[in-house]
Structure 1
C-alpha cells in the first residue's frame, strides 16, 4: 500500500442558502489522504481532508462539521471530529482528522461532512493498525487507581502547575518569584518527571492557554485575537501536549474556572453579551441555548485537535464552579442550573471523545446538589486548605457517598496569597509532603495535588515525589493495582495511622502533623505462617531499614511534620 494512501471520493452535496438566480452551492469533499505511513495502536493517525464548503464560523458544527466515522476491530463505533487547519469559506480548505486507535486490527468506515443539518457519506475508508507496546489511555478502575488500555495500573503523583509565570502577578510577597520566566511548562514538567512525579493539573483561563479569550490579561506569553479561537493559545497548547509526552507527564486539563464568570474576567468573557456573546448574565452562560451550543463547539474543537494524546488524562469542566455560583448578586446561581449544565456537557464530551477518557469537575468547599451523581462525571473533586489532616476522612466519606473515585484537586496549609508564607514555612513544607503521603494511603486514583508550585520549587521540595513514588510503585507491584483497607493501630502521642493491603503485602503509615517528634507503638497484623519480613521507610530521608519482626507491635519515633511507612511482606521472620 502506498505510504500516502489517497482515495478519490464521491462528491458531497449539502443544503446551503441559495443565491437568487444562481445554481445551488455544492459542498464537496475533494480528497482524503492518510498522512501516517504505518498506523500503530495508541499512536496518532493523521488524515488530511480537502473540502469546499460555506460557513460563517468553521467551528460552528451546526454550519459545517467533518467527522471520521469508523468501526473498530472489536465492532465498537469510533467517531472522530475534524478541525479546520486552514482555508476560507467557499474555497478549497484543509481539515485534519487525528486520533490514536486503542485497538489493533482492521478499521473501516466513512468520512462524513455535515452542512446545514444534512449528512452525506464518502467512499469507504479502511486501514490496518499494527499492535504496539504503548500503554494507551487512562480509564477509572475503582476508587484507588486508573488503568491504561494495556491493563497497567496507575496512580497519579504530581501537583498543580495551573499556569506559566504571569507578567503581572497579584501575590503580595512573592510577585518577583511568581513572575520569574523559569516557571514554564518545559522547565516544570522536566523537574517533576526527574523527581518521580507524573501528573499535572493545568488551566485554560484569560492568562494561560486562553483558547476562547479574545482579550488576555496579566501575560505577555499570549496575544489578543479577534478570531473564534486564540491562535497564540492553540500554538502553545500544541507545544504543551508535546512537552507532556516527552516528559512522561499526564495532564488534567481544566477547561474553565469559576472566576471566568466573576468580576473583571466576566467583563471580558467572550460569552458576555457586551462582548458579542450569547449570555446577558453569568446564569445565561449555563442556561442560554446559544451559549450551550457554543460551548459544545469549543469542546468539539478541543477533542478534535488534542484528544489524540493519551497524555491528556482527564477533562475537567470547571475549577471551583461553586465560587461562580455564590459570587453572583443579588442571588446565587441555583444548584439545579449548574448540575444540568454539567450533565449535558459531560455527556456530549463523552459522545465525541474517541478515547472516552475520564470527565471531572471541581468545587472549592461547597457541595452542589446532584453534581456528584451525574453518570457521565467519572470522578468529582474538592479543594482542601488549612485542613490537610482531613484528607483521608474526606476521601473515604465521598467515595462511600458517591460510589465513585474522588480527588483532592488542590490542597495546602494556606490559601490566602496575601500572606507571607515564609512566616510559617516549615508548616507549608510539611503540609506539602504530608498531603501526598496521606493521599497515598487513601482511596484516590490521583494523589492530592498541592498549590503554590513556584513557592515549593523555591524551597526545593521536589524530593518528596521520588520518595512517594518508591512506595506507590511497591504497592502497585505487590497487588497489581488491588487495594484493601487494613486497620492500623497506633498507641502513643497524637499521630494518624492508616493501612492498606496490596496482595499479600501490608503497608502501614504513621503521620505526624505536629511541630515536634512523636513516639508510640504501631500494632502489626497477624503474621502468615512464614512470618513477616519487616521494613521501615523514613519519608523525611528516603532511608529504608530492615528489621527483625518484633511480635505484635513495633516501637516508632516519627519526626515533626513527617511520616514513617512500615512494609510487611511474607518471608523469613519470627511470626506473631
Structure 2
C-alpha cells in the first residue's frame, strides 16, 4: 500500500512575509525567443517543489487570444570544472525564483505575477512590449499534415540524429564534443534521459532530504546540467526529446533493474512499498504532477525542448499491465495538455517493437515511437513497422534502433550499416523522422560515424514533409541488358516475430516449400525458438517440408541465446538427427544475452522431398533465422526498393537484394552488386521532373537530369551499377 510522504523539511525552506520584489528580465522580450524573469520574493513554505506548498505563476494576456499561465520554478546557477577527468559543479550564488516565458505574438502584453504560499496570495501586475523575433519557434505536429512536424514559422521539422541519453564522467563537457559534431553534419535531434538517478540529468535522487535529495525534491545541479545541454543543442541547431523516466526504476530483477536504489522505494524514503503501486498511487500521482510542473516551468519555454517522453520502454517494468499503464498515460497526458502553455508533443515508448496500440493511439499522446533491435534484416523490420503503424493515423518514427540491444557490435559493423540502412529506409517509407540509433558513446563517437547522418541530412534538407501528402509507392526494376540465364537467390526466413506471449508462432509450425521455392503453410516462422524448461508452453519447433530440385545447403543462423539457462539446437532430417549444438549458459550468476554462439550452422540436403525439423531442446530461448542457399530462380534484377510519392516530390531508396545487416556483418557474405537497371515509377503528375541519383555515403548527387512524365504518370529512370544502395529524388519543376 503506498504511503503519503511526511512534510519535507528542505534546505530551501523560507519563513518571511509573502511579497514579490522588483523583477528583471522582461526588457527586450521577443516573439519566439525565451525571456528569463528573475523574481525576488519572500514567503512561508518548506518545499519549493511542492505546488501544494508554494507556487509562482505568470498569467499572460496577449494582444489577441485568451490568457494563459506560465509556471515559475526555483533554480540555481553553477560553475563547472573538470577535475581529474570528472565534471564538478560549484554553486554560483543562492537559489532563486524564475519564470521563463516565450511569447508567440508581438505587441503589448499584460502580465500578472502571482505568488501563493501557505499563508496568502499576492500579485504584481506588469506589462511587456514584445518585439518581432526571427526564431523558428517550437516544433509541433503540423496543422497541414499531422503525420509530420513543423516549426511555428511553418517550416518542416524532420527529426534526424541519435540518442545521446547521458554523459560519462565528463558530464556536460562530453556534450560539447558530441553535439558540435552532430550539429556540424546537419543533425537536428537527440534524446536525453532524466532517470534513473545514476544518469547525468537525474532530477530525483535518493539521499538526505536536508541535502535537497529524495522524492519530492529535484537536484538543482542536474537541473542546471539539462539547461547547459539545451543551450548546446540550440547553438548547434538541435532539438531534444526529454525522456522523463525509464523502466529501470520499477524493475526489481533481471537486467538493468534499479528498484532497490530508486528514491521511489520506501526503503529509500519514497512512497512506494512495491513497484506496481506506481500506476495507481494517489501520492505518486501528486509527486509526478509536481515533477511535470517543474519540467514545464524550467524547460517548457525553451524551443530546444522538442517533446516530452513519459517512459523509456514502459513495458519492461515489473508486472507490466497495459490497462493500468494506459490509464496512467491518459491521466498524465491530459494533465500536460492542460498545463503546458507551449503544447510540446507528448509520447512514450516500449521495448516491444510491435508497440501497444491501445496506449500508442491514446488521444493524450501526440506521436508514436518504435524501438527495434536484433533482427538480421533491420531494413525490413523498420519498413514493416513504419508501414504497419501508418494505419494508426499518428506521427511515428523509430526512436531507437540497433543491431543488438546488448551491445553495439562495433567490431562486426565498423562502418555503421546498422545506422545507415534504417535511417535511409525510414526516409523512403515516409516516417515522421529518421531512425535514431543508440550506442552514441561506445560506437558512434569512437568510430567517428557522424558522417553517416550527414548524407541523409543533405538529402532531406529541403523536403517539405507536411506539404507533400506523401504516400507509399513501389518502384519496379528491369535490366538494361538482360542476362542470358536467371540468377539463383537464397530462400530466407528472417525477421520472424519474437515474444514471450502465447501466439500462433509460439506453437509448433509446419512450412511447405515447393520445387519453385513457393512458400505455404504456417507463416510467419518465429524469430525465437523457445526451449522446453523455462517456457514449455511456448515451445515452437519448426518443420520445413521441402521438395528440392538440386542439392541445397540448409542453414540456421543463431543471433543470441538466453542468459537464463542457454539453449540447445537440434535439427532432424527425415526423422533422424543430423545436428545438435549445446549453447551452454556458463555464467549462472549473470543473465545477459549470450552471443558467443552466434553464427551459422548448416548441412547439405540432397534433391527430392524431405522434412527438416528445427527445435530448441534447451532451457530457454535462442534467436534464429533460416536459409536455403541459392534455391530460388529469379528473372528480375537484384534490387529491392522503398519509396514515397508526394505532390511534387518522390523519394526512393534502393539496395542490392539480400544486402542485410546479418549477411554482411555476421555471415560476411555480402551479395554481388546489381548491374545497370531501369527503375519504374507510376502515379506522377505530368510535367518536367528533375531526377537526382544520390550517393548515400558521400551525400552527393552522382547524376542530375530532367525527366518528362506524360499523362500516363509513368517514368523510367536509368540507374548505374549499384554496389550497396542508392537514393533517388525526383522534384517536379515549375510547381
| TM-score > 0.5 by shorter chain | yes
Q: Which residue of 1 aligns with 2:620?
A: none
Helix, strand or coil at the partner of 2:26: coil
Q: Which residue of 1 aligns with 2:224?
A: 235
- How far is 1:499 from its partner? 2.2
Helix, strand or coil at the partner of 1:33: coil
| Distance in 2 between residues matched to 1:564 and 1:502, nearest whole Å | 20
| Distance in 2 between residues matched to 1:305 and 1:224, nearest whole Å | 17
Sort the Cα spacing of 1:360 and 1:282 in 2 relative to 1 into closer, same or farther, 3 A: same
Helix, strand or coil at the partner of 2:270: coil
Q: Which residue of 2 aligns with 1:211?
A: 203
Q: Which residue of 2 aligns with 1:106?
A: 108
Between 1:540-549 and 1:441-450, the stretch displaced more is: 540-549
- How far is 1:380 from its partner? 1.9
Q: Which residue of 2 aligns with 1:429?
A: 416
Helix, strand or coil at the partner of 1:345: helix
Q: Which residue of 2 aligns with 1:440?
A: 427
- 1:94-243 mapped onto 2 (5 Å cutoff): 94-116=96-118, 120=121, 122-141=123-142, 142-165=145-168, 184-205=174-195, 206-214=198-206, 225=213, 228-243=217-232
- How far is 1:159 from its partner? 0.8
Counterpart of 2:313 (choices 302, 320, 344) is: 320
8 Å contact from structure 2 (residues 468, 649) kept in 1: no
- 1:20-99 mapped onto 2 (5 Å cutoff): 28-85=18-75, 94-99=96-101
- How far is 1:239 from its partner? 1.0
Q: Which residue of 2 aligns with 1:393?
A: 384
Runs of 4+ displaced beyond 6 Å: 180-183
Sort the Cα spacing of 1:119 and 1:139 in 2 relative to 1 into closer, same or farther, 3 A: farther
- How far is 1:256 from its partner? 0.7
CA RMSD of aligned residues (A): 3.0
Helix, strand or coil at the partner of 1:500: strand
8 Å contact from structure 1 (residues 251, 314) kept in 2: yes
1:473 is aligned to 2:461: yes
| Distance in 2 between residues matched to 1:254 and 1:345, nearest whole Å | 14
- How far is 1:144 from its partner? 4.3
Which has the larger helix fraction? 1
Q: What TM-score does the superposition give when structure 2 sets the normalisation length?
A: 0.65
- How far is 1:93 from its partner? 8.4
Deviations 1:415-462 (A, max 9, x none): 122x8541x216x72221011111112333221101112312333322
| Distance in 2 between residues matched to 1:272 and 1:527, nearest whole Å | 59
- How far is 1:409 from its partner? 0.6
Helix, strand or coil at the partner of 2:348: strand
8 Å contact from structure 1 (residues 143, 443) kept in 2: no
Between 1:26-35 and 1:41-50, the stretch displaced more is: 26-35
Deviations 1:258-316 (A, max 9, x none): 11212352111111111111111111122111111111111111221222210010011
- How far is 1:225 from its partner? 4.8
1:488 is aligned to 2:468: no
Deviations 1:345-373 (A, max 9, x none): 12222222221111111001163463123
Sort the Cα spacing of 1:531 and 1:397 in 2 relative to 1 into closer, same or farther, 3 A: same
Counterpart of 1:410 (choices 391, 400, 404) is: 400
Q: Which residue of 1 aligns with 2:328?
A: 341
- How far is 1:54 from its partner? 2.0
- 1:264-283 mapped onto 2 (5 Å cutoff): 264-283=257-276
Sort the Cα spacing of 1:225 and 1:527 in 2 relative to 1 into closer, same or farther, 3 A: closer
8 Å contact from structure 1 (residues 483, 500) kept in 2: no
Q: Which residue of 2 aligns with 1:546?
A: 704
| Distance in 2 between residues matched to 1:143 and 1:437, nearest whole Å | 22
Counterpart of 2:654 (choices 506, 510, 514) is: 510
- 1:1-12 mapped onto 2 (5 Å cutoff): none
| Distance in 1 between residues matched to 2:288 and 2:721, nearest whole Å | 51
- How far is 1:254 from its partner? 0.7
| Distance in 2 between residues matched to 1:125 and 1:444, nearest whole Å | 45
- How far is 1:530 from its partner? 4.5
Q: What TM-score does the superposition give when structure 1 sets the normalisation length?
A: 0.82
Sort the Cα spacing of 1:183 and 1:496 in 2 relative to 1 into closer, same or farther, 3 A: farther
Helix, strand or coil at the partner of 2:225: helix
Sort the Cα spacing of 1:133 and 1:453 in 2 relative to 1 into closer, same or farther, 3 A: same
Sort the Cα spacing of 1:450 and 1:109 in 2 relative to 1 into closer, same or farther, 3 A: same
Structure 1 stretches of 5 or more lacking a match?
1-16, 18-24, 167-179, 217-222
8 Å contact from structure 1 (residues 99, 354) kept in 2: no
8 Å contact from structure 2 (residues 150, 466) kept in 1: no
Structure 2 stretches of 5 or more lacking a match?
1-6, 8-14, 78-93, 478-635, 661-669, 709-713
Sort the Cα spacing of 1:213 and 1:486 in 2 relative to 1 into closer, same or farther, 3 A: same
Sort the Cα spacing of 1:490 and 1:461 in 2 relative to 1 into closer, same or farther, 3 A: farther
1:260 is aligned to 2:249: yes
Q: Which residue of 1 aligns with 2:547?
A: none
The total of aligned residue pairs comes to: 512
Sort the Cα spacing of 1:526 and 1:320 in 2 relative to 1 into closer, same or farther, 3 A: closer
Q: Which residue of 2 aligns with 1:352?
A: 339
- How far is 1:463 from its partner? 1.7
1:289 is aligned to 2:282: yes
8 Å contact from structure 1 (residues 335, 369) kept in 2: no
| Distance in 1 between residues matched to 2:50 and 2:320, nearest whole Å | 27
Helix, strand or coil at the partner of 1:186: helix
| Distance in 1 between residues matched to 2:304 and 2:27, nearest whole Å | 22
